[in-house]
Amino acid sequence: MKNKEELRRILKRINGKGYKAYKDTTGSYDFSDYVFIIDHVQGDPFALPSRVRVRVSLKRSAIPLEIFHTKSREIALRDYLARQFSKSVGKYSKGVRGVGKSGLLSIDTPGQEVLEISAVSVDNESIEVRFTLGLPAFGRSVAGKEAETIIFAEIPRIVLDSLFYENIDNDSMSKHVKTVEDADFIRSELKTLGLKAFVPDGAILPRASGADNCPLLSKHVVQFTSPDSLRVEINLPNAGKITGMGIPAGITLIAGGGYHGKSTLLKALELGVYNHIPGDGREFTVTVANAVKIRSEDGRRVSNVDVSPFINNLPLGLDTTSFSTEDASGSTSQAANILEAVEIGTDLLLIDEDTSATNFMIRDRRMQELVSKDKEPVTPFIDKMRQLRDEFGVSVVLVMGGSGDYFDVADIVICMDEYLSVDVTEKAKEIAGKYKNGRKAEGGPDFGALKKRFPVKSGFDPSRGKSDAKIVARGLKSIDFGNYNIDLGAVEQIVDSSQTRAIGMAIYYALNKYINGARSLGEIIQLVMRDISDHGLDILTKFPTGDMATFRGQELACAINRLRTLKIS
């Protein structure tokens, strides 16, 4: 390791030279309070910024070990430090100076959710923060004096302000860590309590807008209140006793008028697979970790999925036990989405009628009379829900405001009335008994078989041009995998573009290590997620990177299933 003064001498020596002279700065430098590491220098001032790190000994930082002595607390602390580092960048960095990205300091900063990120790592020895630095230039010449100011004046202030215990708001950090720990505790208690989700009394579920995931701050916001019949009590390790609505295993119907909070509640449950920051309003709104939001997805590719539980008797005798299409309909795509989710493993499906195919959800008596079953390939979801529950232990939470036929199959019916939840199960059953729907159950007495699928290597080609592997995340919902694009627009539980980047790399990792035609997709996903759990996100890349966040196996499977070159043996 070099002394920091060596870096200063290099910057003075290369000042005014061609931009590639910055390559001479690559290496590690002792700044007394921390180590500054330049891993990769950008090729020119307009390219992606240079990758750099700082490493602070835990002894010098003085953050107590008890703050992060469990995995839950460690993830929360890493998240908190990334947010504090980002705030300090805002305070002390002077921003862009020069051309291109010159002078730009940036760290991957999470949103409302608390994710395990690669930008910050913590262990019993040190804290490491990974961020990017646009090495400054005027034209294409090294701006050595500006670089010296950033590295020797701005970054030291940022590090001292955000990573040293004496300068951190200890109460805020403690609250952040304890909130995440309590949420994880609730999730761990769901199975014991026979629940699939929990929504606390006092939760703020509405969001600021469709484009802003922060809580809606208004005097008109209605705090969530559980119906007495569904209220449960949980004693948290830090916050103590809380109460709220427990959603039990089985089939739960959320009814109510338009704009009364049905979809708002479902959206909170959908994102309850993640923990949230203090002040989010949904800190303790928690769902089983493998819950999957299901919707229709016109135009998606489907590769060798046995959709026969829902789709049969297609014209021209097309086989639905190993069904493929380049352009799925709404009903076919929704059927495939459900079966793929069950294939990978889920305890809970979350469905909103607003984003579902109508003919997939229901066929009423009149339509059954007009179009006989032998002329209708689609078996509606209403006739398969209980079979999924009873045969595979898959629960369902369904938003349904348009068909009372679902009263017959629901275990619990919740009505949202001006954002207040009311248990109307008894009334719904009474109505169902009073007004018989007269429809005939379709699809037979059993759900049907679930088949494993085995991806083969030839269905994955990450190469592009002269590059053996070109994998690029395009924002939150798109991955370029070689010459092909993976469209994740309908995968609603990805919340951060850092997850999308990591998913792209995880597909490549799986291709190189586990995809061989002999392992099922479910096995492949399990192995990849196990490796990430054991070794961290760094196993996905050849060099340290600070722009990835953990994802679930469910979303990794979604991405693979939407790869248009996917082949199944």
Asked if the model's pLDDT at residue 345 lies above 80, the reply is yes
Are 334 and 357 spatial neighbours (Cβ–Cβ below 8 Å)?
Answer: yes
> Nearest Cα to 163, choosing from 290, 280, 34?
34
As a whole number of angstroms, the distance between CA 57 and CA 60 comes to 5
Instruction: Count CA atoms within 13 Å of residue 506 on its CB side.
Output: 31
DSSP codes, 193-233: HTEEEEEETT----EEETTEEEEP--TTPPPP---GGGEEE
Whole-number mean pLDDT of the chain? 96
DSSP state of 243: E
Instruction: Count CA atoms within 13 Å of residue 206 on its CB side.
Output: 17
Is the torsion defined by CA of 53, 58, 64, 66 positive or negative? positive
Q: Give every strand in the sheet of 292-294, ordered side by side.
A: 292-294, 348-352, 395-399, 251-256, 412-417, 420-423
Residue with tokens 């950033």: 150
User: How many Cβ atoms are within 10 Å of 505's Cβ, its own excluded?
Assistant: 19
Verdict on whether the full-model pTM lies above 0.85: yes
Are 205 and 282 spatial neighbours (Cβ–Cβ below 8 Å)?
Answer: yes
The confidence band for 315, taking pLDDT boundaries of 50, 70 and 90, is: confident
List the structure tokens of 195.
Answer: 């629940």
- Residue 218: the pLDDT is 87
Query: Burial level of 345, CB count in 10 A (0-12/13-18/19+)?
Result: middle
Asked if the model's pLDDT at residue 306 lies above 80, the reply is yes
The confidence band for 319, taking pLDDT boundaries of 50, 70 and 90, is: confident
> Nearest Cα to 422, choosing from 257, 220, 236, 286?
257
The confidence band for 130, taking pLDDT boundaries of 50, 70 and 90, is: very high
Are 343 and 307 spatial neighbours (Cβ–Cβ below 8 Å)?
Answer: no
Percent of the chain, pLDDT > 70? 100
Asked if the model's pLDDT at residue 317 lies above 80, the reply is no
Percent of the chain, pLDDT > 90? 94
For residues 63-73, average pLDDT: 96
Asked if the model's pLDDT at residue 314 lies above 90, the reply is no
For residues 426-443, average pLDDT: 94
Asked if the model's pLDDT at residue 316 lies above 80, the reply is no
Mean pLDDT lowest among 94-98, 315-319, 532-536: 315-319
H and E: helices and strands count for the chain: 15, 28
* 374 vs 306, more confident: 306
Asked if the model's pLDDT at residue 210 lies above 90, the reply is no
Q: Are strands 251-256 and 395-399 parallel, antiparallel or unpaired?
A: parallel
Asked if the model's pLDDT at residue 115 lies above 80, the reply is yes
Q: Which residues pair with 242 in a beta bridge?
A: 234
The confidence band for 211, taking pLDDT boundaries of 50, 70 and 90, is: confident
- The 10s digit of each residue's pLDDT in 213-250 is 999 988 889 999 999 999 999 999 999 999 999 999 99
For residues 160-173, average pLDDT: 97
Report the length, in residues, of the chain: 569
Angle between helices 553-561 and 521-535 (to 10 degrees): 130
> Nearest Cα to 397, choosing from 298, 273, 496, 299?
273
b (16+ CB within 10 A) / e for 207-228: beeeeebebeeeeeeeebbbbe
User: How many Cβ atoms are within 10 Å of 235's Cβ, its own excluded?
Assistant: 10
- Residue 149: the pLDDT is 97
Please give, one letter per residue, the 3-state secondary structure of 94-147: CCCCCCCCCCCEECCCCCCEECCECCEEECCCEEEEEEEECCCEECCEECHHHH
Asked if the model's pLDDT at residue 313 lies above 90, the reply is no
φ, ψ of residue 105 to 5 degrees: the values are: -105, 135
Q: Which residues pair with 130 in a beta bridge?
A: 53
Asked if the model's pLDDT at residue 508 lies above 90, the reply is yes
Beta strands in 374-441 (DSSP E): 395-399, 412-417, 420-423
For residues 449-462, average pLDDT: 95
- Residue 137: the pLDDT is 96
Asked if the model's pLDDT at residue 378 lies above 90, the reply is yes
For residues 525-541, average pLDDT: 97
Mention every residue, 6+ apart, whose C-beta is less than 8 A from residue 371. Answer: 363
Asked if the model's pLDDT at residue 450 lies above 80, the reply is yes
Asked if the model's pLDDT at residue 67 lies above 80, the reply is yes
- The 10s digit of each residue's pLDDT in 12-50 is 999 999 999 999 999 999 999 999 999 999 999 999 999
> Nearest Cα to 70, choosing from 177, 172, 176, 170?
177
Residue with tokens 């019916």: 413
